[in-house]
Structure 1
Amino acid sequence: MRVHVVSDVHGAAEDLARAKDGADALVCLGDLVLFLDYADHARGIFPDLFGVENADRMVELRTARRFDEARDLDRRLWDGIDRRAAIETAVRKQYAELFAAFPTPTYATYGNVDIPSLWAEYAGPGTTVLDGATADIGGRTFGFVGGGLRTAMRTPYEIDDDAYAAKVDALGPVDVLCSHIPPAVPDLCYDTVARRFERGSHALLEAIRTLQPKYALFGHVHQPLVARTRIGRTECVNVGHFNHTRTPWALEW
């Protein structure tokens, strides 16, 4: 059995369509939407609406952790625009292309920049969406936990720690623990380019320590200080920033 795993797709629909090539199934750990590409500021919803110069400035402020100034810039740019309608229109356009690219079968969960309420409209019969739920893939139990924890970035699908922990607890024992964000291990959470710690989950870390799944797979941190480590018997793997690598991570048994 061979499963390909991707995360942080961020608009890479053409390569997503080929991500299952040579595998029996595809697993996607979220962040389909491309709001602002930190590597190419001309790509994404934000520059499409406000131009590259404003995208450059927003990236500069966020990278410097000057979040109050970033929010001020954000408010000025959106003044007089129906933010919700504009973003939903742009996200729908991306989702139509991305969900059409998913191969069969695909098992997917949400990232922190995704909008879960829209997924049911676009997920076809070959795509199974899971969040706080499990699926049998090739005789192994995969557990899925979507979204992220609350941060100063205020991305669309951030939830309280208790709600996130409840989803982790709902899984029970699994062979492969799949999440968008990493467990709360500093080396796994530090982004060497953004120069900041992303939020990892203590609930995921506790589940790994207690239940010892064979693998814990995640994404979210685009340029991690450490992409792979072991906690007891569990191999913890950042499967990679698919928008950058365009290459899935492979799991075989």
Structure 2
Amino acid sequence: MRVHVVSDVHGNATDLARAGQGADALICLGDLVLFLDYADHSRGIFPDLFGVENADRIVELRTARRFEEAREFGRSLWAGLDRDAVILGAVRKQYREMFAAFPTPTYATYGNVDVPALWPEYARPGTTVLDGERIELGGLVFGFVGGGLRSPMRTPFEISDEEYAAKVEALGEVDVLCSHIPPDVPELTYDTVARRFERGSRALLDAIHRTRPRYSIFGHVHQPLVRRMRIGATECVNVGHFAATGRPWALEW
């Protein structure tokens, strides 16, 4: 059995359409939407609306952790526009392309920049959306936990630690623990380019210690200090940033 895993697709529909080639299934761990590419400030919903110079400025403020200034700058740009309606329209356009690129079968969960309420409109037969749920593939049990934890970035699908922990708990014992965000380990949560720690989950880490899955697979941190490490019996693997690499991670057994 061979499964390909991707995360942090961020608008890369071209490579996504090829990501399942040679595999029995594709797993996608979220962040289909591209709002702003921190490596190329000309790509995404934000620069399409406000230009590259304004994208440069907001990235500069966020990288310096001046989040309140970044929010105020953003509010000034959105003045006079129906922010929610504009973003929703742009997200819908991206979702049409992303979901059309999914092969059959695909098993997917949400990232922190995704809009879960829209997914039922675009998930075609052959795409199974899972969050706090488990499936069996080739004799292994895969558990899925979508979304991110609350942060100063205030991305669309951030939830409380308690709500997230409840989803992890609902999985029980699994062979492969699939999530968008990593377990709360410094080496796995630090982004070397953004120069900050992203939020990881203590509940995921506790589940790894308690249930000892074979794998913990995740994305979210685009340029991690460590892409792969062991926690006891569990191999922890960062499978992103697919938008930049265009290459899926392969799991064979």
**Amino acid of the structure 2 residue aligned with 1:39:** A
| Residue 193 (structure 2) aligns with | 193
Unaligned runs of 5+ in 2: none
Q: Quick one: distance in 1 between partners of 2:127 and 2:25?
A: 10
**Amino acid of the structure 2 residue aligned with 1:208:** I
After superposition, the C-alpha distances for 1:135-177 in whole angstroms (9 at most, x for unaligned) are 1112211000000000000000000000000000000000000
**Amino acid of the structure 2 residue aligned with 1:169:** E
- Deviation of 1:123 (Å): 0.2
**Amino acid of the structure 2 residue aligned with 1:97:** E
Runs of 4+ in 1 over 4 A off after TM superposition: none
| Residue 203 (structure 2) aligns with | 203
Map 1:159-178 onto structure 2 (within 5 A): 159-178=159-178
- With normalisation by structure 2, the TM-score equals 0.99
After superposition, the C-alpha distances for 1:37-89 in whole angstroms (9 at most, x for unaligned) are 00111100000111111000011111111111101101101111111100000
| Residue 42 (structure 1) aligns with | 42
Which secondary structure does the structure 2 equivalent of 1:156 belong to? coil
Q: Quick one: distance in 1 between partners of 2:18 and 2:142?
A: 22
Q: Quick one: distance in 2 between partners of 1:68 and 1:122?
A: 34
After superposition, the C-alpha distances for 1:172-193 in whole angstroms (9 at most, x for unaligned) are 0000000000000000000000
Indicate yes or no: 2:95 matched with 1:114.
no
Q: Quick one: distance in 2 between partners of 1:18 and 1:138?
A: 22
Q: Quick one: distance in 1 between partners of 2:97 and 2:226?
A: 32
- Deviation of 1:93 (Å): 0.1
Map 1:61-100 onto structure 2 (within 5 A): 61-100=61-100
- Deviation of 1:240 (Å): 2.1
Q: Quick one: distance in 2 between partners of 1:246 and 1:76?
A: 35
Unaligned runs of 5+ in 1: none
Which secondary structure does the structure 2 equivalent of 1:244 belong to? helix
Higher mean C-alpha deviation, range 243-252 or range 131-140: 131-140
Q: Quick one: distance in 2 between partners of 1:110 and 1:47?
A: 24
**Amino acid of the structure 2 residue aligned with 1:56:** D
* Corresponding residue pairs, total: 253
Q: Quick one: distance in 1 between partners of 2:220 and 2:206?
A: 19
- With normalisation by structure 1, the TM-score equals 0.99
After superposition, the C-alpha distances for 1:104-151 in whole angstroms (9 at most, x for unaligned) are 000000000000000000000110000000011122110000000000
Which secondary structure does the structure 2 equivalent of 1:47 belong to? helix
- Deviation of 1:3 (Å): 0.3
**Amino acid of the structure 2 residue aligned with 1:193:** V
**Amino acid of the structure 1 residue aligned with 2:202:** H
**Amino acid of the structure 1 residue aligned with 2:169:** D
**Amino acid of the structure 1 residue aligned with 2:81:** I
| Residue 124 (structure 1) aligns with | 124
| Residue 54 (structure 2) aligns with | 54
Q: Quick one: distance in 1 between partners of 2:75 and 2:139?
A: 50
Which secondary structure does the structure 2 equivalent of 1:54 belong to? helix
Indicate yes or no: 2:248 matched with 1:248.
yes
Q: Quick one: distance in 2 between partners of 1:98 and 1:244?
A: 15
Q: Quick one: distance in 2 between partners of 1:60 and 1:138?
A: 46
Q: Quick one: distance in 1 between partners of 2:207 and 2:157?
A: 22
| Residue 16 (structure 2) aligns with | 16
